[in-house]
């Protein structure tokens, strides 16, 4: 391994959607452990600035342009990562969007207003994106001793939570974000069933203050990344699990 690739025992991770919020905090925390972190982001200016902030703090963080909706962008990201390492220990599929909002109050589109074209962009990022990125990086993941993929989901994707009258999620009526996360949950289970040499788990950040909820969340981004970091750093560890910072999340 050459100098650019680091030492053989350097743990490597790629985090998508990492120029801000949960992705950025995940990259920061993994970088603080001495890992080599590839910070993926669609916006090149913001992604580069985010990586430079973390690098200034002493972390080994490298920006990788990455649009999870683009085959060409993902293929270029694979080449960029391969130029620096011969394996990828951890992939964190974090990039996500909530879906279209309308009106002066920026409200979510109601179910009766929702059309197929409203779902397509959300699924393109939240479901098809993780498939595209995971498939492209599988060879690098399989080159690692204990490869693991962390899918960033949500309690909103839990059928049990969504139908529990004691939970605030049961009052949500939105056909885009919760449905996409429910799909991601099943997608992850099927990956775990079909690819036993790679560990696949789902992390629910909980109600965390990020741009997705206009920073109305009650948890900090550090608290929101607890489950992500736990799955990323536990080696050896479980597969086909769905957890938040407090423990298992019901399916």
Residue 211 burial by CB count (10 A; 0-12/13-18/19+): exposed, middle or buried? exposed
- Catalytic residue flag (residue 181): yes
Rounded CA gap, 158 and 182, in Å?
A: 6
Contact assessment for residue 36 and residue 13, using Cβ atoms and an 8 Å cutoff = yes
DSSP track, 186-207: HHHHHHHHH-TTSEEEEE---S
Which of these is catalytic: 20, 24, 110, 177?
177
Q: Is 177 a catalytic residue?
A: yes
Burial class (CB in 10 A: 0-12, 13-18, 19+), 83: exposed
Beta carbons of 197 and 146 less than 8 angstroms apart: no
Q: Which of 20, 101, 166, 181 is catalytic?
A: 181
Residues 6 or more apart whose CB falls under 8 angstroms from that of 210 comprise 20, 21, 22, 217, 221, 224
Helix (H, G, I), strand (E, B) or coil at 167: coil
> Is the bond preceding 236 in cis, omega lying within 30 degrees of 0?
yes
SS3 call for 29: helix
Of all residues in the chain, what percent are helix, strand and coil, respectively (each to 5)? 45, 15, 40
* Active site members: 177, 181
């Amino acid at each position: 391994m050459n100098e650019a690739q680091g030492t053989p025992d350097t743990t490597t991770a790629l985090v998508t959607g990492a120029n801000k919020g949960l992705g950025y905090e995940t990259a920061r925390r993994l970088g603080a452990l001495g890992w080599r972190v590839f910070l993926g982001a669609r916006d090149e200016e913001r992604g580069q600035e985010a990586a430079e902030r973390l690098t200034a703090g002493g972390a080994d963080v490298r920006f990788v342009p990455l649009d999870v909706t683009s085959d060409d962008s993902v293929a270029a990201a694979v080449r960029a990562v391969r130029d620096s390492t011969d394996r990828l220990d951890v992939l964190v599929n974090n990039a996500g969007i909530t879906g279209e909002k309308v009106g002066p109050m920026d409200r979510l589109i109601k179910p009766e207003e929702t059309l197929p074209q409203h779902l397509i962009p959300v699924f393109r990022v939240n479901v098809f994106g993780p498939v595209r990125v995971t498939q492209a990086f599988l060879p690098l993941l399989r080159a690692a001793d204990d490869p693991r993929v962390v899918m960033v989901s949500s309690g909103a994707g839990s059928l049990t939570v969504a139908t529990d009258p004691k939970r605030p999620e049961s009052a949500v009526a939105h056909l885009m974000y919760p449905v996409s996360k429910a799909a991601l949950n099943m997608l992850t289970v099927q990956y775990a069933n079909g690819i036993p040499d790679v560990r696949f788990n789902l992390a629910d950040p909980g109600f965390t203050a990020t741009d997705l909820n206009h920073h109305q969340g009650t948890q900090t981004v550090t608290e929101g990344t607890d489950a992500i970091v736990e799955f990323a750093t536990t080696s050896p560890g479980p597969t086909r699990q769905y957890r938040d910072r407090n423990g298992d999340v019901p399916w």
